[in-house]
Amino acid sequence: ESIYNNILHSISKDERLLAVLIDPDKMKLKGLSDFMMKLNNSKATHVFVGGSTVEDKITEVLVIEIKKHTKLPVILFPGDVTQVTNEADALLFLSLLSGRNPDYLIDKHVKAISKLRGSKLEVIPTGYLLIENGKETSVQRVTQTKPIAKNDIQLVVDTASAGELLGMKLIYLEAGSGALHPVSENIIKAVKQEIKIPLIVGGGIKSIEQLENAYKSGADIVVIGTAFENDKSFFDKLKK
């Protein structure tokens, strides 16, 4: 069964999915086994791997190590083509729908094909929407795009809906890694009402309360990275 089908199946049973994001730029191989042990004992259901500014090859080495430590699906969440590796289980094939930079709407995707041809990676087309959170995020800096204003809920909803109609299988609402404020409950609710495909929410979630709020508002998968990097005891609050 494919990872995407498993996601649909879990959602149909009202399960809450939690992806732990590992940024190859920040994760040291030395600390990995300890981190993975905590992750395995937590409610995490997926491991995402990716970052905005990762050096060539580092992602592949890290994914190989992560796979040795967990049975959870490992999904690439790449900031660039260099982070695509066949060692992972799946790839979020992200199109930055909030922006108007053709590189991140289609060009990087064309360049990734030579790596994907013949590979067993499960490719999951994902509409990626960056939402303003009060400070400039690295997604914004690297992609040279503007996020959608947080009070323009209609534009967020219309953009998500356009992604669904283009055939994307997931919508990802992103406040940016380390965001001061996560994506608001109003935005999550409005998007959830409009689309039928699964909704991912991430960026700036660092408390159990914020995590619960995201689920209650309609997030199917919540992504957390920084909170686990900065506070190892956060895993303890999310024990199985």
Place of tokens 């149909």: 12
179 contributes a contact to ligand 1GP by CB under 6 A: yes
205 contributes a contact to ligand 1GP by CB under 6 A:
yes
Least separation in angstroms between residue 234's CB and ligand 1GP is 10
Could you say whether residue 224 binds ligand 1GP (CB under 6 A)?
A: yes
The least CB distance from residue 70 to ligand 1GP, in Å, is 19
The first and second tokens of residue 212, run together, are: 């619960």
| Residue listed under structure tokens 């990275």 | 225
227 counts as binding ligand 1GP under rule CB under 6 A: yes
For residues 88 and 224, which CB has a smaller minimum distance to ligand 1GP in the complex?
224
Q: Which stretch binds ligand 1GP (CB under 6 A): 37-45, 66-74, 163-171, 218-226?
A: 218-226
Find the residue with minimal CB distance to ligand 1GP. Answer: 202
Q: Taking a C-beta distance cutoff of 8 angstroms, is the pair 204, 223 a contact?
A: no
Q: What would the 3-class secondary structure string for the chain be?
A: CCHHHHHHHHHHCCCCEEEEEECCCCCCHHHHHHHHHHHHCECCCEEEECCCCCCCCHHHHHHHHHHHHCCCCEEECCCCHHHCCCCCCEEEEEEECCCCCHHHHHHHHHHHHHHHCCCCCEEEEEEEEEECCCCCCHHHHHHCCCCECCCCHHHHHHHHHHHHHCCCCEEEEECCCCCCCCCCHHHHHHHHHHCCCCEEEECCCCCHHHHHHHHHHCCCEEEECHHHHHCHHHCHHHEC
- Taking the C-alpha atoms of residue 182 and residue 152, their distance in angstroms, rounded to an integer, is 15
How many residues of this chain interact with ligand 1GP, rule: CB under 6 A? 14
| Nearest CB to ligand 1GP, comparing residues 95 and 113 | 95
Q: Cβ of residue 140: shortest distance to ligand 1GP, in angstroms?
A: 12
Contacting ligand 1GP (CB under 6 A), which of 82, 111, 115, 178? 178
Which of 24-32, 111-119, 154-162, 172-180 is the region at the interface with ligand 1GP (rule: CB under 6 A)?
172-180
- 61 alpha carbon, distance to own chain's centre: 20
The answer to whether 91 touches 76, Cβ cutoff 8 Å, is yes
Of 147 and 204, nearer to ligand 1GP (C-beta) is: 204
Considering only residues 17 through 36, tell me which ones interact with ligand 1GP, judged by CB under 6 A.
21
Smallest distance from the beta carbon of 110 to ligand 1GP, in angstroms?
Answer: 23
Interface with ligand 1GP, residue 203, by CB under 6 A: yes
Select the residue interacting with ligand 1GP from 24, 73, 127, 202 (CB under 6 A).
202
Q: Provide the binding-site residues for ligand 1GP, judged by CB under 6 A.
A: 21, 174, 177-179, 202-205, 223-227
